[in-house]
Amino acid sequence: MTDRTYQPSVNGLRTFVALARHRHFGAAATELGVTQPTLSQSLSVLESGLGCRLIERTTRRVLVTPEGEALLPKAIAALDAVDEFVAAADRNHDPLTGVVRLGVIPTVAPYILPTVLTGLATELPELRPQLVEDQTARLVAALRDGTLDVAVLALPEDQPGLTEIPMYAEDFVLALPADHPMSGRSRVSPRILADLPLLLLDEGHCLRDQALEVCRLAGVDAEESRTRAASLATAVHCVAGGLGVTLIPRTSVASETASGRLATVEFTRPRPGRRIGLVCRSSAGRDVAYRRLAGIIADLVIAGGAARRDGESSSATS
């Protein structure tokens, strides 16, 4: 039973969260800059005060107990609050200085980062982004366990405990081989997908789900190609080689059509597309700073002409 007078230390909570994240005493000790005996002692004090086991250590691995899993989100939120408290105590502190750990999904990263990183260096010269490119589910998990500060994701995610800040919207276009009979057309209905082999990304990519949703909304059961790709760049190479067609976001068009082997056709209105936003933990308490960051990223991407303000009609970019 928990001693109601017990107050866990910040070091104890950091020990627990680091062990839950790494599932390894050595890695957790390295992250916190302490020895393993010190780490073990800190965990022991925390567990003793709480009256429950948080971490189970076997001869082969480190496990988080059911009690630990239940308490982990609260420990992360408590540490976020402590970090925010310390930051607020420094009148000159700006959350957009120093390191910000930024996740980006693979169907966004290659197409906006060259512009965004250059722009951020000008707009926020003291910001030092640390980038992680990964699929949505893993980025969301990293946000939750505190490994990431913010992530650029397709919206909506509608995840409890996370705040979504819309940035921009972009259309999907149909990508097909340059010599395809449809390559000269200016507009096609999404219903045309019923007659074409649709090449999709692997499971886990949000663009795969979005492409299938386009088909569903168009009322078609798309003929799915047996070829699947792990990246959008690979999908485009497969399309250029005549293995099918695929949907690509407009921000990727300039890059992916540079070889001249790919043609693109826009869809008729209402054009299918996606919304991109910045997502952070609600408990971090840095909404104002992250909204500023989201606004800068949105301005940089929209200036390129391939995207528009979230909520703005696609006709504005026609």
Contact status, residue 149 vs residue 100, Cβ threshold 8 Å: yes
- Please report how many Cα atoms fall inside a 13 Å half-sphere around the Cα of residue 16, on the Cβ side: 32
Q: Pick left, alpha or beta for residue 36 (phi over 0 → left; psi -120 to 50 → alpha; otherwise beta).
A: alpha
* pLDDT of 315: 47
Domain 10-89 CATH assignment equals 1.10.10.10? yes
Task: Please tell me the distance from the alpha carbon of residue 207 to that of residue 116, in angstroms, as a whole number.
Answer: 21
CATH architecture of 96-318: 3-Layer(aba) Sandwich (3.40)
Note the pTM of the prediction, 2 decimals: 0.76
**Strand pairing category for 62-64 and 55-57:** antiparallel
Which residue, 110, 103, 132, 119, is CA-closest to 249? 110
87-117 confidence digits (pLDDT tens): 776 645 678 988 899 999 999 999 999 999 9
145-167 confidence digits (pLDDT tens): 999 999 999 999 989 999 999 99
Q: Pick left, alpha or beta for residue 24 (phi over 0 → left; psi -120 to 50 → alpha; otherwise beta).
A: beta
Per-residue b/e over 257-272, b at no fewer than 16 CB within 10 Å?
Answer: beeeebbbbbbeeebb
Residue type for position 113 = L
Give the confidence band of 316 by pLDDT, cuts at 50, 70, 90.
very low
Say yes or no to pLDDT of 123 above 90.
yes
Contact status, residue 310 vs residue 301, Cβ threshold 8 Å: no
Tokens of 196: 């074409």
Domain ranges (residues) in the chain: 10-89, 96-318
Contact status, residue 67 vs residue 75, Cβ threshold 8 Å: no
* pLDDT of 1: 56
205-264 confidence digits (pLDDT tens): 999 999 999 988 888 876 667 788 999 999 999 999 999 999 999 999 999 999 888 999
Q: Which residue in this structure is represented by tokens 């054009």?
A: 271
Say yes or no to pLDDT of 314 above 70.
no
Range of 56-60, 93-97, 214-218, 305-309 with top mean pLDDT: 305-309
Contact status, residue 162 vs residue 282, Cβ threshold 8 Å: yes
User: Both ends of the chain: CA-CA distance in Å?
Assistant: 65
Residue type for position 287 = D
Task: Tell me the average pLDDT of the chain.
Answer: 91
